[in-house]
């Protein structure tokens, strides 16, 4: 009787299958490692801010400073002269998902794709996981909704300004976490300014120069003059101006916050046309001046289309 080769054949087949499986597994691991390396190369080191942002975003989009595109960002730009005295004071804006900037730039006016005092020099990219959006509301809808509401608002620098615009948006999203927001039960003008001053990144080297150049130039001139003249009069005057100006602004906005002024939380006061709050929140009542079209009524879709 010839010996049966079933077991031997089966073992050879198993060995062949195992070898193929090992090769397939190695290919998969190699591909995964390659993808991981590519992602790290594109985002930088795993511990870098770019890599951290890439891991946190559901659908990350890169910042394009040359094209002035900052998706899902709060942006900041200096105000000439004033920012040289108080570097934390500037003009701020909010960006949609495509990176276009919207800013509360004057009475009953919200600019789109431009800023009142030139393009941003600093930005903070918000984490979508920390934004409590309604299921039926997109990021762009939330952005243009607050923009439309503020087109019905008056403007004044000392109370109701561009920082109120951002505070209103962040409070609507219940965006967190933030220490100041938790302590003050919401985002405030002072909280927005502090967060941008401490955490915002510069768009590039020239963003740093535009932000700090004026202040550093004045300090350099004052110090050189002090050394050359061997007199501290100019230095003392400059320090006095800085101390007085900063104390005035900080005290003013902290006092408004302590008194519970609605403007500090971005709470709407009134509309230009007397629209009710319910009408202002209705997407169908949004103004087209800020780039938002009327709702497309169809049985298959109820989303708002955004166009320039």
Q: State residue 7's pLDDT score.
A: 40
Query: How many Å apart are CA 162 and CA 104, to the nearest integer?
Result: 5
**Phi, psi at residue 254, to the nearest 5°?**
-70, -35
- Among residues 199, 167, 158, 203, which one has the least CA distance to residue 186? 167
**Phi, psi at residue 214, to the nearest 5°?**
-60, -45
Q: State residue 61's pLDDT score.
A: 56
Query: How many Å apart are CA 165 and CA 184, to the nearest integer?
Result: 17
Instruction: Copy the structure tokens of residue 145.
Output: 């909704």
User: In terms of residues, how long is the chain?
Assistant: 308
Could you tell me what percent of the chain has a pLDDT over 90?
A: 22
Q: State residue 74's pLDDT score.
A: 93
The enclosing H or E element of 43 equals helix 6-43
Q: State residue 184's pLDDT score.
A: 65
User: In the chain, which stretches have pLDDT less than 50?
Assistant: 1-18, 20-44, 46, 51-60, 135-136, 273-308
Q: Alpha carbon 301 to chain centroid distance? A: 29
Find out whether 104 and 114 touch, Cβ atoms under 8 Å: no
Query: How many Å apart are CA 234 and CA 243, to the nearest integer?
Result: 14
Q: State residue 45's pLDDT score.
A: 52
Question: What is this structure's pTM?
Answer: 0.66
Q: Are strands 101-106 and 73-78 parallel, antiparallel or unpaired?
A: unpaired
């Amino acid at each position: 009787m010839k010996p049966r080769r079933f077991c031997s054949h089966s073992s050879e087949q198993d060995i062949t299958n195992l070898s193929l499986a090992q090769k397939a597994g190695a290919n998969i691991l190699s591909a995964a490692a390659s993808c991981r390396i590519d992602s790290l190369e594109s985002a930088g080191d795993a511990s870098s801010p770019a890599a951290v942002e890439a891991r946190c975003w559901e659908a990350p989009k890169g910042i394009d400073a040359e094209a002035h595109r900052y998706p899902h960002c709060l942006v900041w730009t200096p105000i000439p002269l004033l920012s040289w005295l108080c570097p934390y004071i500037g003009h701020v804006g909010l960006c949609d998902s495509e990176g276009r900037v919207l800013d509360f730039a004057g009475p009953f006016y919200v600019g789109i794709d431009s800023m009142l005092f030139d393009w941003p020099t600093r930005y903070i990219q918000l984490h979508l996981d920390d934004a409590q959006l309604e299921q039926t509301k997109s990021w762009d809808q939330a952005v243009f909704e607050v923009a439309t509401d503020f087109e019905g608002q008056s403007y004044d620098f000392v109370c109701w300004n561009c920082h109120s615009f951002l505070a209103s948006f962040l409070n609507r999203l219940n965006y967190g976490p933030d220490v100041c927001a938790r302590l003050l039960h919401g985002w405030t003008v002072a909280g927005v300014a502090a967060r941008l001053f401490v955490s915002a990144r510069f768009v590039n080297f020239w963003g740093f120069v535009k932000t700090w150049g004026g202040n550093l130039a004045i300090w350099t001139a004052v110090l050189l003059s002090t050394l050359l003249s061997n007199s501290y009069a100019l230095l003392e005057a400059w320090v006095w101006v800085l101390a007085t100006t900063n104390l005035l602004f900080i005290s003013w906005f902290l006092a408004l916050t302590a008194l519970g002024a609605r403007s500090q939380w971005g709470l709407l006061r009134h509309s230009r046309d007397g629209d009710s709050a319910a009408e202002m929140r209705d997407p169908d009542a949004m103004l087209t001046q800020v780039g938002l079209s009327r709702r497309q009524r169809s049985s298959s879709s109820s989303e708002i289309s955004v166009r320039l």
